Amino acid sequence: MSADRIDVHAHYLPDAYRAAAEAAGHSMPDGFFELPSWDARRHLDVMDRLGIAVSLLSISSPGIHFGDDDQARALAREVNETGRRTIDAHPDRFGLLASLPLPDVAGAIEEITYCYDVLGVDGVTLLTHVGGTYLGDPALEPVFDELDRRHARVFIHPTSPVCWEHTALGRPRPMLEFFFETTRAVVNLVLNGTIARHPNIEVIVPHAGATLPVVADRIAAFTFALTDVDPSTDVYADLARLHYDLAGFALPRQLDALLELTAADHLHYGSDYPFTPDGVVELLAQQLDAAGDPPGSVMATATDNTRRLFPRLGR
């Protein structure tokens, strides 16, 4: 097993976040089995056992906006400062992808300024939508403009769709809905031109691109019939330049499809811990360690890619 991998898809659950999520009715977020326990010491123990050198921490779904802009601003500041303190306590082991109080645009830009200028974060995490405002919505353009100005690394994370009561059929939304949500948001970013207009933003798409590899041709074909899409939009080029983590079940089928969409130098390792239990994380990591020609080359390539994308973590 590799001992130097960097995990771009790892979550933390500070006490303040847990309390706020539970108070808002999210003790079983997105129909998941539980809101998992988390502390830095246990996370480090898991990292040591699985050969993870550095984990980039982010808040998972349902995010930090539970209906009130002021409360979301305060919670974003609390979790981001907690993340910074975690890095300070373990400077060689953790990085931080900050949370923003979207869809509050003014609050999000204020938090970006604080996170980059004061906290020194490694990037930001954005949910596919908040309250029905999807990534790629024109209302969010000022946020992407500011992230582009800062050459930001942006990690996208799925959440339950607004219509989940009718589509999930009573099953946990991470099983299927998260894949469709990721695809929906990324396609919206491409078709609305957000990706093309912000070339300095490096976007990481989770779960090996979700369903993007198998619908890209269909999206590209429909683009020519959509009157609201710039005819110069290049779906394939935009998707190819994004980054993709390999959290979840990338093998034995999904990775092959993803590599028809992008190159191997855009792959990154992700564990999805602690929402994915450490035993499952270990099994999936072993599969990646055995993958490639020669065996192990997929994981080694992913590690090299992440060190280039996050130079601070590569030192």
Asked if the model's pLDDT at residue 1 lies above 60, the reply is no
What homologous superfamily does CATH list for 5-309?
Metal-dependent hydrolases (3.20.20.140)
> Is 90:44 a contact under the CB 8 Å cutoff?
yes
- 227 or 109, higher pLDDT: 109
Q: Report the alpha-carbon distance of residue 183 to residue 177 in Å, rounded.
A: 10
Asked if the model's pLDDT at residue 2 lies above 70, the reply is no
Which parts of the chain fold into alpha helices (H)?
Answer: 15-23, 40-50, 69-89, 105-114, 141-149, 164-167, 177-191, 194-197, 212-223, 235-240, 254-258, 278-289, 297-309, 311-314
Give pTM, 2 decimals. 0.96
Q: Report the alpha-carbon distance of residue 177 to residue 127 in Å, rounded.
A: 13
Mind listing the pLDDT tens digit for each residue in 240-299?
999 999 999 999 999 999 999 999 999 999 999 999 999 999 999 999 999 998 998 999
Which residues contact residue 279 at a Cβ distance below 8 angstroms, ignoring those fewer than 6 apart?
none
For the chain, how many residues are written?
Answer: 315
Section 102-129 average pLDDT: 98
Cβ neighbourhood burial of 214 (10 Å; 0-12, 13-18, 19+): middle
Q: Report the alpha-carbon distance of residue 239 to residue 262 in Å, rounded.
A: 7
User: Mean pLDDT across the chain, nearest whole number?
Assistant: 95
Q: Which two tokens stand for residue 306?
A: 């992440």
- 46 or 1, higher pLDDT: 46
**pLDDT band, very low/low/confident/very high, at 227 (cuts 50, 70, 90):** confident
pLDDT score for 291: 93
Domain boundaries, the chain: 5-309
In order of 162, 169, 178, the CA distances from 165 in angstroms are 8, 7, 14
